[in-house]
Structures are given as C-alpha cells and as structure tokens.
Amino acid sequence: MLKRLLLIKVALVQMVVHPNWAAYREDDTAKAQRVKEHVLNDIWWDIIEYVVSFTEPIYAMIRLADTDKPCLHLIYEMWDSMIEKVKMPIYRFEGKEEGEECILYDIIKEILVSRWTKSNTPLHCLAHSLNPRYYSPAWINEVPGRISPNADHEVTEMRNKCFQKFYPDQEDFKTIKKEFADFALFMNAFENPDSIEDRADFEPQQWWGTHGVSTRLLIFLH
C-alpha cells in the first residue's frame, strides 16, 4: 500500500492542487483537508519512503519464497541477506554507525529472527550446504563477515542431523560425511579448476550434474 502511494505521488499532488479538488471536498471537508495537508507534506513522504525502504526487503523475500520455482537451496541465504537489507536503511535514517545500538532495528530483528527460528528446518540448512555457489570466493567476499556453510555452526549441526536421518547405516553415514568434506574443502574429485570456477556461475543442479558424479551418496541430496 505505501509503495503504491509512492508510485502515484505525482498524481496525488496534482489532484489536491487541481481547481476541481473543491468538488471532492463537499462530502467531508475536514477529511479532505487532512488528505491535502498530508499529500503536500514533504516530511510525510519522507516517512513513507523510509518505511518502504526497510519493509520492501521483507516483502521481496516472501514473494520469492512463495512461488512454484524450487528455492529451498536459497532460503537460508535469502533470510540472512534480507535482515542485512532491513538494517541498512534504518541505520542510515537514524544516523547510526555500525555497532551502535538502534532500538527500532533491534525490535524488527527480534521479530524476524523469531519467525526464522520457527520456520527454519534441517532441510533448509542441508540445501544451503549443498549449494556450490556458497563456497566460491566471489560469493563469500561479496558481503563482509560472510562465511561458507561448512564454517557455520548452526548449519553444520542441522546438516549432520539430516545426514543421520537419511543414512542411518554407520558406513553410509561416514561415507556421506567424507563426500561432503571433499565437496566443502575442494578436495579430491572437487579440486579440479573447472569444478571450482563453475561454482560461482552454475545453478546447483547444473553443477552437481557436471561435477558431482564421483560421489556415491551426496549427489542424490542436492
């Protein structure tokens, strides 16, 4: 709704300054006057732009997740990126430096993290772990402080739960952990320069179909 107001801002301003606006006021003069005051108030528009700036990443995340396109392998990273995109406009508007406390952001982050905690599953972490792009230097260096999935404690714990559930046999469990270690650490079959370079460019299914054939178990989970 607020984003729509920004899109039609020029038309709204033209409407309230038009000579015919007086005709629209007849039903409720007081309400019409309040509308005109708001539409012509630059501070009011600044507030709307501010609210849209930190809510749009949330709606964008919801839209991306609510499609028929497979995106399980993207959800974990999308949540992390969304929270950072919410933070930036708030800190900029509030004049805060990185590391300073911001009450509004802290409240919003608490709500988002609570929602993520409820919806986050081991499958999200497994899918995140098996996306080759998330191990490429290009992706890791894109955002300060970003780490690969195998370096994330929560992701590692959840991923291993999935491995145990899918492969209760101890030998298979050991095998898939070794296959994952090779994949995550660029070892053995995954140390090929083409395999490493393609991580940044290929979609997961393309990459695994091209470079994952040496794995006996891991390839079936991607």
The mean pLDDT values, 10 residues at a time, for the chain of 222 residues are: 87 87 76 87 92 90 69 71 89 87 91 77 86 92 87 91 93 94 94 92 91 89 76
Establish if 116 belongs to a structural domain.
no
**Cα of 153 vs its chain's centroid, Å:** 19
CB 111 within 8 A of CB 89: no
Measured CA to CA in angstroms, residue 140 lies from 33, 83, 144 at distances of 53, 17, 8
Q: What value does the mean pLDDT of the chain take?
A: 87
Establish if 147 belongs to a structural domain.
yes
Establish if 183 belongs to a structural domain.
yes
**Residue pLDDT, tens place only, 23-69:** 776 677 888 888 888 989 999 999 999 999 999 998 887 787 666 66
Query: By C-alpha distance, which of 112, 108, 153, 145 is closest to 129?
Result: 153
CB 185 within 8 A of CB 155: no
Establish if 182 belongs to a structural domain.
yes
Establish if 69 belongs to a structural domain.
no
CB 152 within 8 A of CB 207: no
**Residue pLDDT, tens place only, 149-164:** 999 998 899 999 999 9
**Tokens 């709307």 sit at which residue?**
48
For every residue of 2-19, DSSP letters joined together read: HHHHHHTHHHHHHHHHST
Instruction: Report the distance separating Cα 68 and Cα 82, nearest Å.
Output: 20
Q: What number of other Cβ atoms are within 10 A of residue 125's Cβ?
A: 23
Establish if 7 belongs to a structural domain.
no
Q: What 3-state DSSP class applies to 182? A: helix
∠ CA 94-97-98, nearest 5°, is: 120
Helices (H), ranges, the chain? 2-7, 9-17, 21-24, 29-39, 42-65, 72-94, 103-119, 122-129, 137-140, 153-166, 170-184, 193-198, 204-211
Instruction: Report the distance separating Cα 191 and Cα 78, nearest Å.
Output: 28
User: Into how many domains does the chain fold?
Assistant: 1
What range does the domain containing 214 cover? 122-222
Establish if 52 belongs to a structural domain.
no
Establish if 117 belongs to a structural domain.
no
Most distant CA pair in the chain: distance in Å? 82
